[in-house]
């Protein structure tokens, strides 16, 4: 009896092992968003950051040199803009005080470097080189100079995993400007997004900007998200099917800012 079983196991060991591996894999697949996995991934990212540092630092230096020349050109333009805005700001403050408005939030930007960009280039998960030692925590928003990038999903001592908004199941509450219509934005493909379920009676035009609405608990208001490229009528005839391009070029992201809410 046992010898037959032993023979069977020896003869069919590949099939048996495959069956066991498949079962284990299916077991893993059935567990969504495992914290243990996230912790292991974070720990590995801490190690790989150290291994990758020389390459990353060299790339960073090269990028800094390129950016430096571009930034010097921009400084002059921005100085002009700043002086104009200072005038407007003081005027705005005066008008707001007249209307008894108050500033309710203040955000601090923490510059970070992307040290890992997921298994696939278009993967939505990135690793940044700042962790809870620097005050980064889950649900902190990340942006780059062009607009919204995503949010932190977990952080270890010196690195954090972040989810970019180009993930299929991420939804962002947005406002279309200047019409101030609210909608839910979702990733389409590549660097494009779609917004649906806005009544077709509302006038919306290509070229209009999309910003965060502030209705979400995670994303603060008025962070630029993208620009509308096409406005179509959906199949039901009652709603718009709006397509647009993200401001941020996710494939070329090297550095991002963590938006730390310094609300006092």
Partner 1 sequence: MIESKQKSFWLLYLVMGLVFILSVIFNEYIDIAGVRPDILLIILIFLATREKKLIALCAAFFFGLIQDVVLPGDAEYWGLAPLLKTLLIFSFLKIIPLIGKFRGFILHLTVFSGFLVYFVFYNLFYYSGFMDPFVIFYRYALTETIYTFLIYLLLNMIFPSADQKR
Give the residue, chosen from 2, 3, 10, 33, that forms a contact with partner 1 under the rule CB under 8 A: 33
d(CA 106, CA 260): 9
Subset of residues 6 to 25 that bind partner 1, contact rule: CB under 8 A = 13-15, 17-18, 21-22, 24-25
Out of 187, 193, 219, 246, the residue judged to bind partner 1 by CB under 8 A? 187
Residue 112 vs 211, nearer CB to partner 1: 112
Count residues near partner 1 (CB under 8 A).
46
Residue 170: count of CB within 10 angstroms of its CB: 15
The distance of closest approach from Cβ of residue 23 to partner 1 in the complex, given in angstroms and rounded to an integer, is: 10
Residues whose CB falls within 8 Å of the CB of residue 218, separated by 6 or more in sequence, listed in order: 139, 141, 151
Q: Closer CB to partner 1, residue 223 or residue 246?
A: 246
Residue 38 touching partner 1 (CB under 8 A): yes
CA 210 to chain centre: 15
Within residues 45-104, the interface with partner 1 by CB under 8 A covers 45, 48, 51-52, 55
155 binds partner 1 (CB under 8 A): no
Contact 221, 213 (CB under 8 A): yes
Antiparallel, parallel or unpaired: β 160-164 and 181-187: unpaired
The answer to whether the CB of 122 falls within 8 A of the CB of 166 is yes
Task: Based on the shown chain and the rule CB under 8 A, indicate whether residue 32 belongs to the binding site for partner 1.
Answer: yes
Q: From the list 11, 53, 189, 205, which residue makes contact with partner 1 (rule: CB under 8 A)?
A: 189
Q: How many C-beta atoms lie closer than 10 Å to residue 221's C-beta?
A: 14
CA 198 – CA 44 distance, rounded (Å) = 43
Sites of contact with partner 1 (CB under 8 A): 13-15, 17-18, 21-22, 24-34, 37-38, 40-41, 44-45, 48, 51-52, 55, 116-125, 127, 161, 167-169, 187, 189, 251
């Amino acid at each position: 009896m046992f010898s037959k079983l032993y023979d069977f196991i020896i003869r069919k060991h590949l099939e048996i092992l495959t069956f066991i591996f498949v079962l284990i894999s299916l077991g893993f697949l059935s567990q969504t968003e495992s914290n243990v996995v996230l912790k292991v991934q974070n720990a590995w990212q801490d190690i790989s950051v150290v291994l990758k540092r020389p390459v990353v630092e060299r790339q960073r230096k090269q990028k800094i040199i390129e950016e430096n020349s571009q930034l010097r050109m921009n400084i002059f333009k921005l100085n002009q803009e700043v002086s104009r805005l200072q005038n407007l700001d003081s005027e705005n403050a005066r008008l707001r005080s007249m209307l008894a408005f108050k500033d309710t939030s203040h955000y601090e930007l923490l510059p970070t470097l992307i040290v890992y960009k997921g298994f696939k280039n278009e993967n939505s998960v990135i690793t940044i080189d700042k962790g809870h030692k620097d005050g980064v925590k889950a649900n902190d928003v990340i942006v780059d100079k062009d607009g919204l990038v995503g949010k932190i999903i977990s952080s270890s001592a010196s690195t954090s995993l972040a989810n970019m908004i180009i993930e299929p199941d991420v939804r962002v509450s947005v406002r279309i400007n200047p019409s101030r219509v609210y909608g839910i934005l979702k990733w389409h493909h590549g660097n494009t997004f779609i917004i649906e379920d806005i009544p077709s009676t509302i006038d919306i035009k290509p070229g209009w900007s999309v910003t965060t609405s502030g209705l979400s608990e995670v994303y603060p208001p008025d962070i630029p998200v993208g620009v509308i490229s096409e406005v179509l009528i959906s199949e039901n005839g009652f709603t718009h099917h709006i397509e647009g391009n993200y401001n941020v070029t996710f494939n070329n992201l090297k550095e991002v800012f963590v938006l730390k809410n310094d609300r006092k």
